[in-house]
A and B are shown apart, each in its own frame.
Chain A
Amino acid sequence: AQKITQTQPGMFVQEKEAVTLDCTYDTSDPSYGLFWYKQPSSGEMIFLIYQGSYDQQNATEGRYSLNFQKARKSANLVISASQLGDSAMYFCAMRELYSSASKIIFGSGTRLSIRP
């Protein structure tokens, strides 16, 4: 069965430092996609970055990068040079790409707070 685990309920980081948000997953499907979303205090869900299970390189999008370790089933989000606007809830999610179920599951989230 699919499962996503985010073990850090909350984190505090100094502005301009890099931060790593942990995400581990479990699936029996060899083909899957991993997503990270940001939810600011205003409540909307913002897509940040995607990693496919067969992608050879770690995904990057601006200040966001994904530290994908397939053998360890981890897909940690790295935010470089954190900014005050990065304070938000962050969710890791997984979709089994070729499963007929097409369910999408989310982790419980990590609340990131950036200190000035």
Chain B
Amino acid sequence: EAQVTQNPRYLITVTGKKLTVTCSQNMNHEYMSWYRQDPGLGLRQIYYSMNVEVTDKGDVPEGYKVSRKEKRNFPLILESPSPNQTSLYFCASSPSSQGNQPQHFGDGTRLSIL
């Protein structure tokens, strides 16, 4: 089954404790992206990647890191999480960075930073 898999689905942690949210897709997609969803703000793009070893900042990259060492994986790293990073996070992928292909989304990761 074609899918984008995020882990964990839920995480409660404390300020400053490094964490990684994994994202994997099995569709051989070139384009992958991370979003955070906050009430009243919709989804905001954190980072995106157009292919292996190619990443770029979205609109809200501060406090986050990503890497794209393999085509299928695009982990989101919070080196020193803070309470303002409490949010619902989505990973998404699409075949390429252009064209009319919609993104496939993971089921989301709800992070609570205390």
Inter-chain contact A103/B42, CB cutoff 8 Å = no
B102:A47 contact, CB within 8 angstroms: yes
**B interface vs A, CB < 8 Å?**
31, 33, 35, 40-45, 48, 50, 56, 58-59, 88, 90, 92, 97-100, 102-105, 107-108
Closest 3 pairs (CB-CB, A-B): A45-B105, A47-B102, A102-B97
**Number of cross-chain contacts by CB at 8 Å:** 58
Interface presence of A106 (CB below 8 A):
yes
Residues of A within 8 A of B (CB): 4, 6, 9, 33, 35, 37, 43-45, 47, 50, 52, 91, 93, 97-98, 101-109
Can you name 26 A-B residue pairings with CB atoms under 8 Å? Answer: A6-B42, A9-B40, A33-B99, A33-B100, A37-B105, A45-B90, A45-B92, A45-B105, A47-B102, A47-B104, A50-B100, A52-B100, A91-B42, A97-B99, A97-B100, A98-B98, A101-B56, A102-B48, A102-B56, A102-B97, A103-B45, A104-B48, A106-B35, A106-B43, A108-B41, A109-B42
* B98 nearest CB neighbor, chain A only: A97
A103 touches B58 (CB 8 A): yes
Query: Chain B contacts of A98 at CB under 8 A?
Result: 98
A104 touches B98 (CB 8 A): no
Inter-chain contacts of A97 with B (CB < 8 A): 98-100
Q: Which residue of B lies closest to A109 (CB)?
A: B42
What's the nearest-Cβ distance from chain B to residue A87, in Å? 17
